[in-house]
A and B are shown apart, each in its own frame.
Chain A
Amino acid sequence: MSDVRGPDPARAALDARVLAWLHEPGALDAPRDDARFSALALELFAFQFARCEPYRRFCEGRGRTPRSVASWREIPPVPTGAFKELELRSFPAERRLHAFRTSGTSTERRGTLWLDTLALYEASLLPSFQAHVLPDLAERPVLLRVLAPSAREAPDSSLSHMFETVLRRLALPGGGFDIRDGRLDVDGLLSGLERARDAGTAVALCGTSFAFVHLMDELAARGRRLALPEGSRVMETGGFKGRSRELGRGELHAAFDAVLGVAPERIVNQYGMTELASQFYDSVLRRPGEPRRKLAPPWTRVRVVDPASGEDVPPGEPGALVIVDLANTGSVQALQTADLGHELDDGFEVLGREPGAEARGCSVAADAMLGATGP
């Protein structure tokens, strides 16, 4: 039996047009091209409607078909949680090449994004990462250290794959992963950072929020503080999900400043999710001096909607985030998140829940309890 895994030829022309955009030099700085986005989004909607049976039936249930949808804003978004329940792919099962899975405790269901190609995922992540985390790479060397496991150790982690791709494609000397066998290698990381400090090399320290908390707790236990060289920056992403004590965003950034010597204006938060090929980054390094906001790559659009009606809220008002990502050609391009945010200038802001915020009831969602009772 021949191996038919790999990109679905039925989507080749569409993928090529999206990839062309992703590869365009200067695409992130080009003027917003709504016509180009809309044309591709509607074409992709028609393709995914035809090829992803559960999505087609979902859309039909809402009275939305390629005939009736005239704008990318009308494309029905699927909730991110649906990836825990269904294989939402727009290619035949036998073409499945790679799976990214959401994190979670052993008792939680994990969402799975199936891909028939990694080309779009990698093409999308690289320019965004470079523009927002390493905008000065042409001017100076940067040491990239990652507080996450490698893709070999965590093959189903989209975050690990992202960092692996960045390290491979940018070939940054001395870069690597500092979580090995599930443990943060503090000694190895410290010696790497000390060498960089002695050489005056700027550091990009990247990882999940809870990994940073573990690092800072470990440094506190050792009575250590680091002053990373000038030009260093931190990129943090994700929540805590019970894997460390929780810190509010402000508290976390203050700790970066105090323990690592990285000022808030050099801390970049990434908003991303396993189910999306593209990521969104704080503007602080790319647009210094401007208000902090998330910037969307041009092949994505972010809507802020009223959760009850699904309609866009007035600009600046809070609502649920809906993301349309053209790089999601193999699954579903429009996702409804349970995250709240609001538009801010040409970007958006994600509104996080402060740790310890008081709940209204003494009842609690069953999933939160299941998460809490997991080993």
Chain B
Amino acid sequence: MTVAEIRAALARLETAGKRLRERSAAERLVAVGRVLDAWSDPTSAVRCRLLEQHPAASGLSRPTVAAGLELGLAGWDAAALERLVARELGPPGIRDTLRLEGVSAVVHGGVIPMPSLVDALAPLVLASPVLAKPALRDPVTPRLVAESLAALAPELAGCLELADVRRGDEAALAALLGTARVLVTGSDEAVAAIRRRLAPGSRLLAHGHKLSVAVLGAEPGTDLAEAAERLAVDVALWDQLGCLSPVACFVLGGRARTEAFASALAGALAGRERAWPRGELAAAEAARVASERAEAELRAAAGAGVALHAGPGLAFTVVAEPDAALRPAPLHRFVRVHPVPDPGALADALAPLAPHLAGVALQAAGREAETLRGLARRLGATRIEPFGRLQAAPLDWARDGLGPLAALMDG
């Protein structure tokens, strides 16, 4: 889009915004709720189109996308939106007083539809029209959101437009970033680049890069194979590209248990690979995975206490490490499994990651579970769930500590 086209879109959205603010909060809520009802229904037309189009754009396999959507969008319906609004905006009488002025620019990032969906719809709930810049590897979600609004929420017609800004077109980007507020999801580098270009008076809400880890408690009765099956779900979904994808698993209970769990996890990932084949790897991504894998192979050969479980090709990799020291995580179904002697050592090991920790997949029982949950919270994790459920974030997940509507209202 040219600068002139973006300015024209912004002018249309300003006009649409006036109409949007004249509607009651209840009307907006009902309209957005209809869209969510469709997106949460696996048989709806929009879900079918999403599943049809997303894999080609993202490079993920269709079964992986299907599984990720089924888990990720379950329960993202109108009732969930009503609960979210009630919690973050208060009772109906107060809601009508809570409105945003101006247009919101949304700069989408990554490949996962759910964050894009919530980022596109949340401003509409608060009466702010949206100019959305799709992510390079998921141009599908914002386009389908726009189509859903047109088909299911005519009250909000014209309140969301797409901005196809060419990479390197500084003038067009500047026009996009001249809105009242900018929501951006992307790498810390991308967020910093947006921040530098932000217009004076424009507010930035940024979701930078995050990661997650898993923790397996020392409970002796744990069925390791079953725990591995469930953790493999968290790892394999979205090919480990989500901020709720564990990149490492810390195992309490000793080296032998760690190695046994690593072996079980490799077996479980092999099963996931058959059901949900890993998607495309760009050459740079493949080089990174191959390099880390070869390094583990060499450390194992050198007697460093490392065990490498490598899937065929670069399908998946599990490395049983000798200690809790953090090591590079090249993603794309590459997991390191670390022994950790006690929760204190775990806290020390994870401390460097605290500013970026999104979630912790936790498999533990009793008092140990409480201790580990408290530790994860203190480290800043905003989502702590049993193995296999980490990627099932609800609509109101407070990604960076604030819920999707509260974050928009904040400040």
Contacts and interface: CB of A to CB of B under 8 A. Distances in A.
Interface of A: 53-55, 57-58, 60-61, 77-82, 85-86, 107, 246, 306-310, 318-320, 336-340, 351, 353, 355-356, 358-370, 372-373
A318 B193 CA distance: 29
Contacts of B207: 362
Interface of B: 58-59, 109-112, 115, 135-137, 185-190, 193, 207, 209-212, 238-243, 245, 247-248, 281-292, 294-295, 297-304, 313-314, 326-331, 352-353, 355-356
Given A360-B110, A362-B109, A362-B185, A81 B291 contact: yes
Contacts of A57: 301-303
Given A308-B313, A363-B245, 14 more contacts: A54-B302, A81-B328, A308-B281, A337-B291, A339-B287, A359-B190, A360-B59, A361-B110, A362-B207, A363-B247, A364-B331, A365-B331, A369-B356, A373-B356
30 contacts: A53-B302, A57-B302, A57-B303, A58-B298, A61-B300, A81-B291, A81-B292, A85-B298, A307-B287, A307-B291, A320-B287, A340-B287, A358-B136, A359-B109, A361-B238, A361-B240, A362-B112, A362-B115, A362-B185, A362-B210, A362-B243, A363-B211, A363-B241, A363-B245, A364-B187, A364-B188, A365-B288, A366-B328, A369-B356, A373-B356
B79 to A, nearest CB: 27
Given A366-B326, A373-B355, A361 B291 contact: no
A82 B328 contact: no
**Nearest 3 CB-CB pairs, A to B?**
A361-B241, A54-B302, A57-B301
A340 B211 contact: no
Contacts of A77: 294
A79 B302 contact: no
Given A307-B287, A356-B193, A367-B328, A82 B209 contact: no
A353 B290 CA distance: 18
A362 B209 contact: yes
A367 B288 CA distance: 12
A78 B283 contact: no
Given A320-B283, A362-B110, A373-B355, A79 B291 contact: yes
B58 A360 contact: yes
B291 A359 contact: no
Nearest to B111: A360
Given A79-B295, A307-B290, A320-B290, A107 B352 contact: yes
B298 A78 contact: yes
A366 B137 contact: no
A306 to B, nearest CB: 8
Contacts of B295: 79, 81-82, 85
A250 to B, nearest CB: 11
A368 B331 CA distance: 12
Contact of B242 (A60, A351, A363): A363
